[in-house]
Amino acid sequence: MDLKLKDKVALVTGGSRGIGAAIALELGRQGARVALTCSSRVDAAEKIAAQIKQAGSRAMVIQADVSDFQKTQETVGAVVAELGGLHALICNAGVAWDGVIWKMSEEQWDKVINTNLKGYFNYNRAASGIFKDNKYGKIVNIASINGLRGKFAQVNYSASKGGIIAMSKALAKELGKFNVNVNVVAPGMVMTEMAKKIPEEFLNKAINETVLGRVAEPADVADVVAFLCSDRSRHVTGEVIKVDGGQYI
């Protein structure tokens, strides 16, 4: 399906691997000019950018800590200057640092909240001004079904993802009159590099929770995100779309 993204510029945080890489690649295949951020894996991000360029689109990589407020403003400015604007923001960068709450350290809590929630605030804030002035924009925030249902030993992660969902709904109300769509994609278990390292019993438990009998591939999430970045989704805002094979239900 041609989503008509050829004249669009998209910024994807955490674009060096997994879901973020799949999103960046799909947007590039659909014709968008794509900027990817990464915190450390610059070589991996550059490989994704090279694939986007091979597909006929432009791409750039910026190394940045999403929790750094000032760096975020600079990053968004650099994308606009280099790629000629900004039409879609996809916040995906995140971390998990699990533990039951009676053993969770302050560092565990702060690291996850600062990356997952503050990081999304930083980029949503920076992009919103541009979208508001241009009377156009698409924001897609990647959360998790665990932000809806909670997860054992993930108080910090669940809180951050739940906060992203609430923030996105509020932002959809603020930006709607400026023709800006704000939506959330909430994956269940996705077969990323990280997921392949978890114990088999936990992976099987996730599979058994689904009604389709499988976990998602990163491309399954990317396809939904690409739709939300296109004008085919022009009347969809404030929604939380689960991509989980029925794992939540």
Q: What was the pLDDT predicted at 16?
A: 96
The two structure tokens encoding residue 103: 């053993």
Pairing mode of beta strands 88-91, 240-243: unpaired
For 7-22, what is each residue's pLDDT tens digit? 999 999 999 999 999 9
For the annotated catalytic residues, the residue numbers are 157
Which CATH superfamily does the domain covering 9-243 fall into? NAD(P)-binding Rossmann-like Domain (3.40.50.720)
In whole angstroms, what is the distance from residue 146 CA to residue 159 CA? 9
For 132-184, what is each residue's pLDDT tens digit? 999 999 999 999 999 999 999 999 999 999 999 999 999 999 999 999 999 99
In whole angstroms, what is the distance from residue 30 CA to residue 46 CA? 19
Q: What was the pLDDT predicted at 24?
A: 98
In whole angstroms, what is the distance from residue 223 CA to residue 227 CA? 6
In whole angstroms, what is the distance from residue 67 CA to residue 90 CA? 15
What residues pair up with 35 in beta bridges, in sequence order? 11, 60
Confirm whether pTM is higher than 0.95: yes
> If you search the block for the tokens 């239900």, which residue do you land on?
249
Measured distance between the N- and C-terminal CA atoms of the chain, rounded to whole angstroms = 29
Q: How far is CA 96 from CA 151, 204, 225, in A?
A: 12, 20, 22
Q: How confident is the model at residue 76 (pLDDT cuts 50, 70, 90)?
A: very high
